[in-house]
Structure 1
Amino acid sequence: TMGTISFLTRAQRLLRIRNQLLRECLAEVLATFVMMVSRARGWLGAGGCHVLSPYSIAGAHMNPAFSLAMCLTEQFPWWKFPIFVVVQTLGSFISAGAVYILYYDAIWHHSNGTLTVTGPQETASIFATYPADFVSIGNGFLDQVIGTGVLIIVVMGLMDPRNKPVPKGLEPVVVALLVLSIECSMGANCGCPLNPARDIGPRLFTYLAGWGPEVFSRGNGWWWVPLVAPLLGAAVGTYLYLLFVAFHYPEEKSEVLAEQGSIVLVNTAISSADIGRSPKERDSGETEPAGYPPPHSPSSTVSPTVAITPLKES
């Protein structure tokens, strides 16, 4: 065991990444990968559950729509947004490859040796979403705006401690049930992507893996709708929550809201020490830099201890 511990210690020292942004990106790739693999739609038609958990390692979003909502509420820096979109898409792309390997024999058996995008033996919809034959581009676009808007509204309500938050630790479960209900009630039109990275990553994989350019042309060029509509839906959902709920709270100091862990309308300045740290880390105090919190200064408002000398009886 001593040899094993020594090896693990050496491996940790060699492989440990100290750059906060890179650690967040690795966590985002892994979280998106696990989410996508766990919700892969089998060729027999079995569906999975899409877990959009904002309470994951390093505050993983797993969805550009959620990242956009955090940017709009000033809980996430805009400069990180394109970086997270890329790594989320990368995680989805890798997960599509894993699903392809996992169901390799089943896919080729079902397709009779031909990878097709349409017809009774198509297998492209295992990976990316496609609209039903009766759904127009306009209807599908509206479907995704409404679906993603509902998702973001409820997620923001669940995460807002000034509303009535979910008991700590149960957030992923509640959000999973939320997304499952949205998929069951609104998934008939186009499979309910709700996530640009969840759609474009696997679609790119199928294009490269042999399904060809038809993955972009099917459904009258449907491919761009799951990219644009969820982002618009996220903006609509964010502003609706602010307009109907968050704008009407009694005014409180931003420091108090930050201490409560509020993700809505906490307009606190981002210091240079916070640039490499996620909003969750700044709010919850996790992985704080050395020397934090700062020691009390002599000018502290805490009264010094004064020695009390009892009076002598005369």
Structure 2
Amino acid sequence: MSSYDSSVHTRKQLHDHDRKESIEHISATQSDAHDYDDDNESVEHYTKYPNRWSRIREWIREPAAEFFGVMILIIFGNGVDCQVVLGSNTSISATPKGDYLSLNFGWAVGTALGVWVSGGISGGHINPAVTIAFALWRDFPWRKVPAYIFAQLMGGLCGAGIIYANYIHAIDIAEGGRHIRTVPGTAGLFSTYALPYMTSVSCFFDEFVGTVILLLVVCAVNDARNGPPPAGLVPLVLFITILGIGAALGMQTGYAINPARDLGPRLLTSMVGYGADVYTFRNHYWLWCPVIAPIVGAIVGTFIYDVLFFTGAESLINKPNKKARMAHARAANAERQKPIAGTDSPV
């Protein structure tokens, strides 16, 4: 082969090599672009709002969590009331189906599971008294309070409705017929009614004390500086708390300690045949004992904890006063006026 032919052959090899590299570069670029489009599609798919329902859910998930938390509480609480009380009637059950300790366990289980379901979404208040106390003393937004309380009451009403439908035949036997509904009678299976010897002041005090204790414990388990339980064990602490309150303080007024636990089922009973008697019992007992007393108790319990123990900035008690705010402003101003490092050094 001549030197000319060799030169031509070499140039042809170089041209073919450059053309091959160019084709590979174009293919790689197209592949990268395709991968980039796929990545974009993946990113778009995993956005906060991947579809229309996700936007709607963002607005309702917290009230929905409170609704189902209270509904679970009432299903277990009213359910155990019906099973234990109605089961003691030999016309309904040949043998008793529980005792007073069973009632305490049922309400404790309902509280724990209700908080477990709702805790990570809404905070697991499942109690209007807790919601109001946290809005007053902590940083819980007041704008959320109406939706929370409405959801809690409706959860109580629906939970009681489920239990009423489940035990309606046993209630008929206990009352003597579908058309007979007595107060307190079987209405006491769903809402609280104080024992006859209790005075109005004693009823209020009983509910007040129980709710103060409940809120002291709730505040403690949410205080990072006071040895809170490990993640996921708050429901266990509340199980123990409700079990203890019921065992120690539950006999006289039924330890409502939660307006939604009492008023939601009371609304249900007034709708299914018990009538206005559920509200007029003992001079409107339903309002001042199981509703107002727990709210006052929750406010006082949170106040006591925040005044004596809590150091978190979210408490109203720990908000900086005028002197502290002025000192902070002076410190921030002095920090802004510091020279940039190195600019004041001699050249």
Q: TM-score, normalised on structure 2?
A: 0.65
Q: Secondary structure at the match of 2:227?
A: coil
Displacement, 1:205? 0.8
Give the whole-Å Cα distance in 1 for the aligned partners of 2:76 and 2:163.
10
Residue in 2 that maps onto 1:20 = 58
1:229-282 alpha-carbon deviations (Å, 9 max, x no partner): 101000100110012212xx5xx8x5xxxxxxx8897869xxxxxxxxxxxxxx
Residue in 1 that maps onto 2:34 = none
* Contact 2:61-2:121 at 8 Å conserved across structures: no
Residue in 2 that maps onto 1:55 = 119
Give the whole-Å Cα distance in 2 for the aligned partners of 1:55 and 1:44.
29
Q: Secondary structure at the match of 1:192?
A: coil
**Cα gap change, 1:106/1:56 in structure 2, threshold over 3 Å: closer, same or farther?**
farther
Residue in 1 that maps onto 2:159 = 95
Alignment-mate amino acid for residue 58 of structure 2: Q
* Contact 1:31-1:62 at 8 Å conserved across structures: yes
- Give 2:245's match in structure 1, choosing from 159, 164, 182: 182
Alignment-mate amino acid for residue 200 of structure 1: L
Residue in 2 that maps onto 1:169 = 232
Displacement, 1:212? 1.1
* Structure 1: unaligned runs, 5 residues or longer: 1-11, 255-261, 269-314
* Contact 1:158-1:165 at 8 Å conserved across structures: yes
Give the whole-Å Cα distance in 2 for the aligned partners of 1:193 and 1:126.
12
Alignment-mate amino acid for residue 23 of structure 1: R
* Structure 2: unaligned runs, 5 residues or longer: 1-49, 86-97, 321-347
Alignment-mate amino acid for residue 151 of structure 2: V
Residue in 1 that maps onto 2:300 = 236
Displacement, 1:220? 3.4
Does residue 67 in structure 1 map to residue 131 in structure 2?
yes
User: Between Structure 1 and Structure 2, whose CA radius of gyration is higher?
Assistant: 2
**Cα gap change, 1:56/1:117 in structure 2, threshold over 3 Å: closer, same or farther?**
farther
Give the whole-Å Cα distance in 2 for the aligned partners of 1:202 and 1:44.
18
Alignment-mate amino acid for residue 38 of structure 1: F
Residue in 1 that maps onto 2:189 = 126
Alignment-mate amino acid for residue 230 of structure 2: P
Residue in 1 that maps onto 2:182 = 116
- Give 1:34's match in structure 2, choosing from 63, 72, 96: 72
Give the whole-Å Cα distance in 2 for the aligned partners of 1:161 and 1:265.
17
Give the whole-Å Cα distance in 2 for the aligned partners of 1:186 and 1:239.
22
Displacement, 1:13? 5.2
Aligned pair count reads 242
Displacement, 1:183? 1.0
Give the whole-Å Cα distance in 1 for the aligned partners of 2:120 and 2:263.
23
Alignment-mate amino acid for residue 212 of structure 2: G
If asked which structure has higher relative contact order (CA below 8 Å, sep 6+), I would say 1
* Contact 1:73-1:263 at 8 Å conserved across structures: yes
Displacement, 1:130? 0.4
1:145-174 alpha-carbon deviations (Å, 9 max, x no partner): 111011001111121011111111111011
Give the whole-Å Cα distance in 1 for the aligned partners of 2:262 and 2:211.
14
Displacement, 1:72? 2.4
* Contact 1:69-1:235 at 8 Å conserved across structures: yes
Q: TM-score, normalised on structure 1?
A: 0.71
Displacement, 1:16? 4.1
Alignment-mate amino acid for residue 34 of structure 1: I
Higher helix share: 2
Residue in 1 that maps onto 2:3 = none
Give the whole-Å Cα distance in 2 for the aligned partners of 1:90 and 1:218.
22
Does residue 83 in structure 1 map to residue 147 in structure 2?
yes
Taking only aligned residues, the RMSD between alpha carbons, in angstroms, comes to 2.3
Q: Secondary structure at the match of 1:242?
A: helix
* Contact 1:133-1:219 at 8 Å conserved across structures: no
